[in-house]
Amino acid sequence: MQNLTFPLRSVFLALPLEGQPKWQFQALQEELKPFADSLRFQNPQSPHLTLMFWPSVGQLEYQGIVQQAQKIASLHAPFTMKVTGAETFGSRGEDHVLFLPVGFSEELARVKKTCPWSDGRPFAPHITLARIAHPQDVKSPVGDHVPFTGRFTIVKKKVMKTLEGIAFDIPVDRLRLYAEVNGVKQTKLEDFVFAVR
């Protein structure tokens, strides 16, 4: 493990996509490249399903997270998640995230349930493909007095058509801890391999 400077920022525990599912994720991003001015792509090297996120973590808290992650991994066997299509979510009528929903499974529910942390929100398993460029990033072509809905609304139908019918399996055999290290977000810190065979 690398030398870490605390507090660590943007720490999260996740189920990583490896091998074929990672390539499929990257291929989807390639297909969406024509819409790149409307999308800020998730790092193609670290696709994942987040179980828990911490904005900032001190050294003692980090040690506790590592111990809990080891314990969680010791309780579970490898399983397969299923991507089922593509969707967007946001607020106040604006889309903010383009994502791949992951279908419910008993195994995924058990893994989440053994995580002792909560952010107070319901668990909605998904894999982020891209963040959507915000309308305020774009000047209205017809002047400030006319609201401008942003670029994504113009291309949304084409984007969703490109992703239509997406479905693939994601074998999972580990938890992975990530954080921002030396200004690099989503740096892999440690893996915790599922121990039940």
**AA identity, residue 174:** R
Nearest to 175 by CA among 59, 78, 30: 78
* DSSP H or E run through 63: helix 59-74
Task: Work out the average pLDDT over 123-138.
Answer: 81
List pLDDT tens digits, range 156-187.
999 999 999 999 999 999 999 999 999 999 99
Superfamily (CATH H level) for 8-190: Cyclic phosphodiesterase (3.90.1140.10)
Model-level pTM? 0.90
4-26 exposure pattern, b = at least 16 Cβ within 10 A, e = fewer: eeeebebbbbbbbbbeebbebbe
List pLDDT tens digits, range 15-71.
999 999 999 999 999 999 999 999 999 999 999 999 999 999 999 999 999 999 999
For tokens 């904005």, what's the residue?
55
Query: What residue segments make up the domains of the chain, in order of their start?
Result: 8-190
Strand partners, 101: 126
- Mean of all residue pLDDT scores within the chain: 91
CA distance 103 to 53: 21
